[in-house]
A and B are shown apart, each in its own frame.
Chain A
Amino acid sequence: MHELSLTQSIVDICLQHGEGKRVTVVVLEIGDLSGVVPDAVEFCFDACSRGTLLEGARLVIERIPARGVCHDCRAEFSLGTYFDPCPSCGGFSHAVISGEELRVKELEVE
């Protein structure tokens, strides 16, 4: 799994944006369909942040629930998986409108 390299990019992004200050809080957004395991990111974060300005920072993970919009009837609905049928018409054709996010939302620096 590549949670380790993703976590390395979290650290890189935070260092770029942290303007040389010690980072105390990192807020991440992880969509429920992103395929990323939040626990694994937390686990890797300790290792990846060690010896950097992020060492000891608190990691806040905000899960983003998945939502889709039906191609057939335009209904918007909550998705548990990529293959949930539309609750209004039963169709399987939909566009994912949220739930695939994987981003650093904000930081808190000292």
Chain B
Amino acid sequence: MCTTCGCGPDEHHDHDHGEGHHHHHHEGESRPEAGTRIAVETDLLAKNRHFAEGNRQLFAARELFVLNLVSSPGSGKTTILERTLRDLAGEIRSAVIEGDQQTDNDARRIAAAGVPVQQINTGAGCHLDAHMVGHAVDHFDLTNLDLLFIENVGNLVCPASFDLGEHHKVVVLSVTEGEDKPLKYPQMFHAADVMLLNKVDLLPHVDFDVAKCREMARRVNPAITIFEVSSRSGEGMAAWYGWLRKNVKGEK
């Protein structure tokens, strides 16, 4: 799938694709003299963006709807996926890419739900990038899929900057985390199109002001779609499934 480099599945490499040579070489400028300035104007994330674009084209060609799930550690991303996959089994054909620094625990939980899954371990890495995702996608039979979930590394900061080629970022915030998270991590809430406010079954036991949280999320991102859910009790999940159905159909 790595169309840029042609490297096969499972091949991990760190080579350079030589892109980023966007500056113009004029005759006589090719051998700069001492103290010569060279205009570069190259984005640090250009390489990632390039891979993300490749992923996006592939997803469009295969009519695959792709979501990038982001949250701080423990907000409930995997639990939401487990429940969603079980409830939509037989209706929407899904697959999951699991990103974690270490372990394949989450991938094993997803596999138990009967869905194809690929684990990416980032080691010290604090986010998934588009190149890793491109290789993981290689392992799925895309002709038989409607929906791909990418569970990012639990981290409300870094994954905001890395486009994976997804249609939308979905940010999960749980009611045990405090309602001011959108203002504390504005880049992520700004980048997301959907917010799942999870663990609402715990609302009676915690000091969490849902209205205030919604208001803060909308300040950072007025267009954000918010669903209040509990992946434990199932409360509110129907509205989320409705959104998924509509969008999966929209890709066809």
Chain A interface residues toward B at CB < 8 A: 1-2, 5-6, 9-10, 12-14, 16-19, 21, 24, 33-35, 81-83, 85, 91-93, 101-110
Contact = CB atoms under 8 A, between A and B. Distances in A.
B12 to A, nearest CB: 15
Given A106-B38, A107-B37, A82 B21 contact: no
B5 interface: no
Give the 5 A-B CB pairs with smallest separation, nearest first: A82-B186, A93-B222, A83-B219, A104-B40, A83-B220
A33 B188 CA distance: 11
A21 B37 CA distance: 12
Contacts, number: 102
Interface residues of B, number: 41
Contact of A93 (B30, B36, B43, B223): B223
A16 B44 CA distance: 13
B34 interface: yes
Given A9-B47, A16-B20, A35 B187 contact: yes
A83 B185 CA distance: 11
Interface stretch (B101-109, B134-142, B153-161, B226-234): B153-161
B181 interface: no
A19 B30 contact: yes
A84 B237 CA distance: 32
A108 B35 contact: yes
18 contacts: A2-B158, A9-B45, A9-B47, A13-B44, A16-B18, A16-B20, A82-B221, A83-B183, A85-B219, A92-B220, A103-B40, A103-B41, A106-B37, A107-B37, A108-B37, A109-B32, A109-B38, A110-B35
Contacts of A85: 219
A13 B219 contact: no
B222 A35 contact: no
Which residue among A2, A18, A34, A102 has the maximum number of chain B CB atoms within 10 Å of its CB? A2
Interface in B28-85: 30-32, 34-45, 47
A92 B218 CA distance: 8
Contacts of A34: 161
Given A104-B44, A108-B35, 5 more contacts: A2-B158, A13-B20, A18-B38, A103-B44, A106-B39
A101 B44 CA distance: 9
